[in-house]
Amino acid sequence: MTPSAGSIDIHRALEAAVNAARQGGQVAKVRLGDPGYVKWKGDRDVVCEASFQVQEAVVSALLQEFPDTAILAEEGPEDAPLPVDAEHLWIVDPVCGSLNFVQGIPHFAISIALRSGGSICVGVVYDPCSDELFEATAETPATCNGRKIYVQHTLEGSEAWESAIVGTDWPRGGERRQQARLIVGLVADQVGECNLMGSPALGLCYVAAGRLHAYWHLDLKIWDIAAASLILQRAGGILTDAEGVSWLHSEGGYIATNSVIHGWMLNCIQSVLHFPRYDLAGTDPGAAPGESGE
């Protein structure tokens, strides 16, 4: 069956995405520690030969099942027009966690989302090294290896924030990286732990599975977030942009939480992004907004 103009069988699409993620994962696992040539696309933005092979395996598997759908993949091809207006669009990040992958660190993921009719309706994130498959559809709950997952709500109020385990990753450079440094300092002084994840897709899935209570980032692309966004929300989590409004219109900043601590996480980010005292010259990020800091 080929997809009609206004509908698609999302259960069949989920099966196709799971199969494609596993096929890509097999390639990635074989090439871990042997990435081939490495090319720097920009500051701290790396791609390697193996990433293209993973992407080819994923895209081929998807198009074999749904030949009439469009593909938006992180590694291009760069000369192809962006199919942003396609009715049915696969959004693919072949290796979410490229620096980890290139360095042989077994913490990265294959991320596949399907946008149909303007909404994300299928999300699959696969960690081939731990053989963990996170998945969700717009009609089914989030699962990890077939078991339902939920965000963790163990405490309420300020106690929930003070004991929170928060994940993040660094923007590649520029002002956003400096802002992130200040936010990390502010958050780390307030919560139980602050971890660098190395893979945004896994960061969001870990919030969905209750392993983290929040994950934030100031500079992501749609392929980093598309699949995991659905998984998070179907697990009971909340996702906004860095201003606390719809993530769909984000300019790169995202906050994913268990909902209980969303306000605290947002306040920390806003304190750095919008309070003049948090200039980038190195003011103390540990002092709360309004305190002297001197």
Q: How far is CA 115 from CA 8, 36, 46, 69, 199, in A?
A: 10, 32, 26, 10, 21
CA distance 200 to 220: 8
SS3 content of the chain, % helix, strand, coil (to 5): 35, 25, 40
| The predicted structure's pLDDT at residue 95 | 96
- The backbone torsions φ and ψ at residue 86, rounded to the nearest 5 degrees and listed phi first, read -65, 140
Whether residues 166 and 252 share a domain: the answer is yes
Whether residues 128 and 227 share a domain: the answer is no
Q: Which one, of 274, 294, 273, lies nearest residue 283 by Cα?
A: 294
Whether residues 170 and 137 share a domain: the answer is no
Q: Considering the domain boundaries, does residue 281 fall inside one?
A: no
CA distance 59 to 185: 40
- Specify the length of the chain in residues: 294
Domain CATH for 242: 3.40.190.80
Residue-averaged pLDDT of the chain? 89
Q: Provide the β-strand partners of residue 47.
A: 39
Tokens 């692309």 belong to 221
Beta strands (DSSP E) in 118-181 are 119-127, 132-137, 140-144, 147-148, 165-168
Report pLDDT digits (tens) over 100-149: 999 999 999 999 999 998 999 999 999 999 999 999 999 999 999 999 99
Q: How far is CA 220 from CA 13, 35, 38, 82, in A?
A: 25, 23, 21, 17
Whether residues 14 and 144 share a domain: the answer is yes
Whether residues 213 and 250 share a domain: the answer is yes
Last residue of a domain, one of 95, 123, 148: 148
Split at pLDDT 50, 70, 90, the class of 80 is low
Asked if pLDDT for residue 45 goes beyond 80, the answer is no
Whether residues 162 and 140 share a domain: the answer is no
Q: How many domains does the chain have?
A: 2
Whether residues 133 and 65 share a domain: the answer is yes
Whether residues 109 and 191 share a domain: the answer is no
- Name the residue range of residue 198's domain: 157-274
| The predicted structure's pLDDT at residue 121 | 97
What whole-number percentage of the chain has pLDDT above 90? 77
